[in-house]
Structure 1
Amino acid sequence: MEELANCSRCKGLFVKGSSAVCTACLKQEEQDFQTVYTFLRKKQNRTATVEQIEEGTGVSEWQVRQFLKQKRLHPAHFPNIRYGCEKCGSPIKENRLCPECKHSIQKGMEAQERKKSIESRKEEREREKGIRTYYSW
């Protein structure tokens, strides 16, 4: 069954398919991509930053960053294009997090795992104590 949803860009009502935006916004997004890609294909613009792309094309910085996150634009081909880490906002070329944030999250997960391990060992010892207890009357 088809589902109604609000477009994440224009907030209009549309029948949700494989996209989270309505067909009008999808067309506009594709036009924006073609504009950005045409701009970047010019030799003098290949080293442009996201801010310079916005200035030269009129496409919002947010949309250019979305193209990067969707891997429609590859930073390997355009060396000065960067977008913000989703946690701290520092400029990165790939993935969703910078190495520092990724490391801090991994450390947090390891600490959580150690805590769970300690708690499970403690519970195991408590159960063993209960088994060994003998009562005599």
Structure 2
Amino acid sequence: MAELANCPKCNALFMRGPATVCKDCVKREEEEFQTVYAFVRQRQNRTATVEDIVRGTGVEEHKIREFVRSKRLHPAQFPSLSYGCEKCGADIREGRLCSNCTEEIQNGIQQQDQLNDIQERNKKKDLGNATYYSMKRDKR
């Protein structure tokens, strides 16, 4: 069910449902997308970088990168478009992380798995070497 909320972009009241921003902001974003798309579809602009598109259209850089991230603009069709890695900010064309950050995370996971294996072996080893003593109880 829809609830009353403030638009995070313009602070206007709207009924929040599937959309997370008001209708005016959705319309404005769609107009910006159409402006960017019309610009990059021109033959001379197909290899334009994000900075070139910002200069040519006046649309903010983060919005253009969001269009690429959300696959509204495909890097396969426009080879100079990219967006930032979520960890380090390096330019990437697909996914959420660059190859360096992905590799770093995978190495960290492998190291943690190795440490867990060593700890398990040590626990089993310690349990195998346990010494049990019996106590003699005197009955009086």
Tell me the TM-score normalized by structure 1. 0.86
Q: Distance in 2 between matches of 1:105 and 1:72?
A: 28
Residue 10 of structure 1 aligns to a residue whose secondary structure is coil
Q: How many correspondences in the alignment? A: 136
- Letter aligned with residue 62 of structure 1: H
Question: What whole-Å deviation, never above 9, does each CA across 1:66-89 have from its counterpart, x for those lacking one?
Answer: 001101110011111122211111
- Structure 2 CA distance for aligned equivalents of residues 19 and 128 of structure 1: 60
In the alignment, structure 1 residue 96 sits paired with structure 2 residue 96: yes
Q: CA deviation at 1:129?
A: 4.5
Query: Could you say which residue in structure 2 is the equivalent of 1:40?
Result: 40
More moved, 104-113 vs 43-52: 104-113
- How do 1:63-74 and structure 2 match up within 5 A? 63-74=63-74
Cα deviations by residue, 1:52-105 (Å, 9 ceiling, x for unpaired): 111111110000000011011100111111222111112111111111111001
Q: Which moved more, 1:5-14 or 1:45-54?
A: 5-14
Please give the alpha-carbon distance, in whole angstroms, between the structure 2 residues aligned to 1:76 and 1:67. 14
Distance across 2 between alignment mates of 1:41 and 1:64: 14
1:12-70 deviation per Cα after TM superposition (whole angstroms, max 9, x unaligned)? 44332223222211111111111111111110110100011111111100000000110
Match of 1:118 in 2: 118
Using the alignment, how far apart are the partners of 1:3 and 1:115 within structure 2?
A: 48
Q: Which residue number corresponds to residue 134 of structure 2?
A: 135
Counterpart CA distance in 2 for 1:64 and 1:47 is: 14
Distance 1:56 1:31 in 2: 15
5+ residue gaps, structure 2, are none
Aligned-pair identity (%): 49
In structure 1, list runs of 5 or more residues that go unmatched: none
